[in-house]
Structure 1
Amino acid sequence: MNQPPDSSAFSQLLEEDTEELYENAPCAYLSTLPDGTIIKVNATFLEWTGYARTALVGQKRFQALLPVAGKVFYDTHVGPLLIMQGFVRELAFELVCENGQRMPVLLNSVLKRDAAGNPLLIRTTILDARSRRAYEEELRRAKRKAEEAEAAVRQLAEELECRVQQRTQERDRIWRISQDILAVAALDGTFHSFNPAFTRILGWSEEDLPALSALGLVEPDHLPQLRQVLERLSAGDPVERVDLPLRHKASGYRWLSMAIRPEGDALYIVGRDITEERKQAEVVRKMEDALRQAQKMDAIGKLTGGVAHDFNNILQVIAGNLELMRLEFAGDARAGHRLQQARFAVDRGAKLASQLLSFARRQPLQPVPTNLGRVVRELDDLLRRALGASVEIETIVAGGLWTVSLDRNQLENALLNLAVNARDAMNGEGKLTIELGNAVLDENYAQQHPDVDPGQYVMLAVSDTGSGIPPEVAEQIFEPFFTTKPEGKGTGLGLSMVHGFVKQSGGHIKVYSEVGLGTTFRIYLPRVLESEAREPDVRGKPADGGAETILIVEDDQAVQATTVEMLSSLGYKVLKAVDGQSALSILQSGIQIDLLFTDVVMPGPLRSTDLARKAQAILPDIAVLFTSGYTQSAIVHGGRLDAGVELISKPYRREDLARKVRHVLDKAKTAAPKKPGDDVSTPESSRLRILVVEDNPDSQHMLCELLGVLGHSARGVSSAESALDALRSEAFDVLLTDVGLPGKSGVELAREAVEGHPSLRIIFSSGCGGIKEDGLAALCLPKPYNLERVMDVLARSAKQP
């Protein structure tokens, strides 16, 4: 059994243990006398501060170690009060270390007294406040952040509330002022609400709710498309874009491009009106189609024109020889039958070439002001014979029919083509209606048909009760060589010829057809403000000849030979030339020639039109007749023969040639004789040598021609430099120059010209007034000019000093 330790020994152990705990405690201990003298410190204090024990014990340094605490404990005012209390609890101070750094600490002090109650010593426990201060600082920081966060949340909530209000206001504003349709609908398409734009675009108002549904507004042909869209939306799939026509409350449909988003049981719709965009896109598409068609027509026209000239020359040789053989074998019925069959073949070839030229708009037209009602009535018998007794023909002509300008022969061919096609569509039995009336095609119609100019037209409609034309076929009916007839029954050029003739005449053609109900072709020809010209129809006249002298200009020897023989057989005296230059020599020889019969396309530098002009200058009473298989642009401009030009197209029959030659000769003979004073020629003594300076070839040629008609000698050049060269090599009386020239201007040219030729008269061909500058006096010939203006300015020029 263990014995208890000796009390004195135990007390000693306890004292040693207490000392050890004091010395090595985790906190610092410091004991001082009431006056601040340090009497004891432990190792922790020395470790924290870096002081040596000997530097502290016995020293009065408490106030140096804890300056603020020293004041608290030993200040003459505060200290006694604290001492009287006998303790201090966790006051925060800073401990000054040996190296001068300061360490945050907490002080717990106890005042010990003696038996008499007098202060004996102060025992101070010092705690390291660094971690605690950091913790407290963190708490304060966290609290501050929490307060800041709370304030931020409050501010954010206020801002969100403000934004919600702003967005609500903005949404309401957008709802009101949006140019696009905004609507909310049920999944079945029934509208719950919509904005004012819905009313503005489609005409429906909120009073029409709730019975209004997209299914009831969509155009019926697009109803299946809308149902598919609603199925997608019901499945939760948004629709980024769908274009649909919706019915306007008043009339018609408006196209909307819509984006639709489903949310729950509602559909949110944004729709933009694209009706005008679609119209414009349709116009652009039609313009592109028209451009492609024009390019195709141009290509075909060039190909056709190149072939037609040689092809018609070949046909002319064949036709001419057949005509001559028919005369030789007049009593041989068998030979006559064969010759007739050959003539029919030539006619078919000529018709084929003519149809190709008509389709390509290269057929030379001879338009005259015409009343279509009279032409249609005159064709009645021909149409009845062509269509047969089983086809009923009704003609409806409106009163007050306007005049149009067209080639009557080509119109008759076009109308006959349409009538024969109608007969075939009716299988030879039915009703054909020909209707004539005035019409106005407005801007809206012109926008839908880019090839149409808005204005006044005369409408010619040809309707049948036939089988009709399917839509896919109707798109191709005007294409060359397209036909639905069996092989050998049609060339596919009839309707393309009609189309080409109408377009070349400045008109428009439209087809309307329903399968099983019939077809209507509507032709619109532009109105002209001229009275009808009753041109004589030479086709029914006798094929008489004559005794006049005819000069034939033809480079194709075979064509020339047959033409010479046909005209000779008609009694005419015939001269021949292979080109313009040789023909001019014959004209200048003094032989009396009554008719110049020339091909349009001629080899050599002298064009056929120039030859004709020179011929009429040499022989003022000479008649001129052109012929060609393809006229190009020598005598045809804008698809029409130049005014006063007579033309017979190759190939021609002997009878056709006889009638045309007789018509041209008689027309020249019956021309009104000139009255005194009508002669615009200039006396020899007054004739001027005029230098014309004009960079536009057509204007230059025309002006020189006008001056030549007046009897003056005119030379044309295209630049100031060429004019100065001409002035150095020739003598001129008048310089007639355009003001705007390439290089030097007309004014600069005139100044230089007058310096070298002081007597030279100056006339400016421009839109200016008279020019008088730096001694330069000039007259002005305003553009556009005519014969009278040219005569007037030359007369005034003669009066200049």
Structure 2
Amino acid sequence: MHKVDHDIMPALDLRLTAENPDDLYEHAPCGYCSCLPDGTLVKLNQTLLGWLGYTRQELVARLTLSQLLTVGGRLHYEMHCAPLLLLQGQVREVSYSLRRHDGSTLPVLLNATLQRDADGQPLVVRMTLFDITDRRKYEQELLRAKAQAEAQREQLRAQNEQLTRINADLDSFVYTASHDLKQPVHNLAGLFEELQRSATFHDPAAANMMDMVQGAMQQILSTIEGLTAVVQQQRQPEPGPAEAVELLGLTEEIIRSLAQLPAHAEAEFALDFAAAPVVHMSRPGLHSVLTNLLSNALKYTEPGRRPRIAVSTALMEGKPVLSVQDNGRGLNLARHGGELFQLFRRFHPEVAGSGVGLYLVNRLVHQAGGRVEVASTVGQGTTFRLYLPR
């Protein structure tokens, strides 16, 4: 037991022990009043009188408590509070508004107890009332903030619905346009091939111009195909269900499918999936991701250098990381890193392409719950790391 050190206690002012009970009642920090069972006011403290702006003579034995309440409060008191007092003998923390002498209102929190006489008959109701003006203002501010938040949420919902409709309309337009343009461009390419076969040009610059036209038409076809691929992918709001995908078989299948690319014949592929031979992701999504990364590695080879492409896995914090590394042309990430995954953004215009592949890679990996990181050095190569969910 700790010994009380009386030396450090402040001296007690004996005036604090001589409080006047009447003064405590009259000037308490809350309102006090007493009513007869019918509600007639018989006693009020000065604090409550000061709040309401009445004199004692204007209220005592002249008005009932319900007459000081607003219309709604009067109905609640007579229909709920008074019967509950008779039944239980008390009520706790009921919110009312009192009408002041000047017509304004005062929000209060009421507590009441019913006192009975020796025969058990109701004698007097004693009440305490607490001024909750600040609390009511705070509640009203909360309600206003809630209403504003709900209005903003409804506005955002309407805007999202509108954007969804606009995006759907744009998707339909792009898909229709790309589909309808594809056949005329193919027809134009066929006519151009026939022109090259049958026409004779005497201008020495004609051959170069023909190559330029052919390249432009090929670029148009590539862009149309890219648009179609993007719209088809975006029309699928959810990726396919995640499944266990065996990487070695899938990667070998994709490498065989890319045999038509010029660099494929001399490329060296190194596959190492020992750390994570199986990943969980939508198989079509993973197939698209690897196809785009491996085809890019073959297309963007460094001239005069034999392509070497390594596909491997590692574990980081128990999660698989799939890497695709090449020794190709590389990218200036300091200059182009922020644009790397933008739609139709291309960084090697001398190589045919649509600028869609990396956009799809990033989108599909994010849909699967992962992320993509890139490391690259110009003239040395690029590494894509796909951080996949567990």
Measured against the shorter chain, the TM-score band is 0.3 to 0.5
TM-score, normalising length: structure 2:
0.42
TM-score, normalising length: structure 1:
0.22
Q: Which has the larger radius of gyration?
A: 1
Q: Greater relative contact order: 1 or 2 (C-alpha under 8 angstroms, separation 6 or more)?
A: 2
